[in-house]
Amino acid sequence: MVNILIVTHGDFGKELKNSAKLIVGDVSNIESISYDIGDNFKSLVAEVEKKIKRMSNDSELMVFTDMYGGSPFNAVTRFMNKYDFDHVTGVNFPLFLDIALNRNAMNLDEIEKNIINDGKKSIVFVNENLGIS
């Protein structure tokens, strides 16, 4: 099973996990870190390292962050040459669900090949899609 860590501004990541539970059921080995205004950046970096170190230790790890260049993104990216894990930013609900559903059957390699690119297609302009002006 691939472990999942979500690091986001505010409780976005925490709620992503809660919402996913309604659909996926099993949210074991999924953890989140919420970064709030006024929180110390160094503490965020320390907490991120602690979780990444533990969660990548005996299992594959996928880390999601909310936005390229944001503080959660920066805190996670700094450890990409120190620990072995995948990092996807700009996480949304469909992508998160897809990976949460498949992490038993697939390893990171297969997730990289099959799921991440599909995730990019999950943002749909419905008016255009349905031909409604």
Partner 1 sequence: MKKVVLARIDERLLHGQVVVNWLPVYDIKEIIIIDNEIAEDDFLKEITLAAAPKSARIHVFAENQIDELRDLQTEGNAIIITKNIFVIPSLLSNGISFNQLNLGGLSMIKDRKRYLDFLCLSNSEIDELKEIEDKYDVEVFAQMIPNSLKFDLNKL
Q: Which is nearer to partner 1, 8 or 32 (CB)?
A: 8
Q: 72, 31 in Cβ contact below 8 A?
A: no
Residue nearer to partner 1 on the CB measure, 71 or 106: 71
Residues that bind partner 1 (CB under 8 A): 9, 37-43, 67-71, 73-74, 77-78, 80-81
Tell me how far, at minimum, the Cβ of 35 lies from partner 1, in Å. Answer: 10
Are the CB atoms for 66 and 88 separated by under 8 Å?
no
What type of residue is 113? Answer: K
Give the integer Cα–Cα distance in Å for 75 and 21: 26
Nearer to partner 1, 35 or 96 (CB): 35
CB of 89 to partner 1, least distance (A): 11
By beta-carbon proximity to partner 1, the closer residue of 9 and 29 is 9
Please give the helix or strand (H or E) that residue 115 lies within, else none.
none
CA distances from 107 to 87, 93, 101, 110 (A): 14, 20, 12, 5
In angstroms, what is the minimal distance from the CB of 128 to partner 1?
25
CB of 129 to partner 1, least distance (A): 27
Residue 130's contacts (CB-CB under 8 Å, 6 or more residues apart) are: none
Residue 67, token pair as written in the block? 């936005």
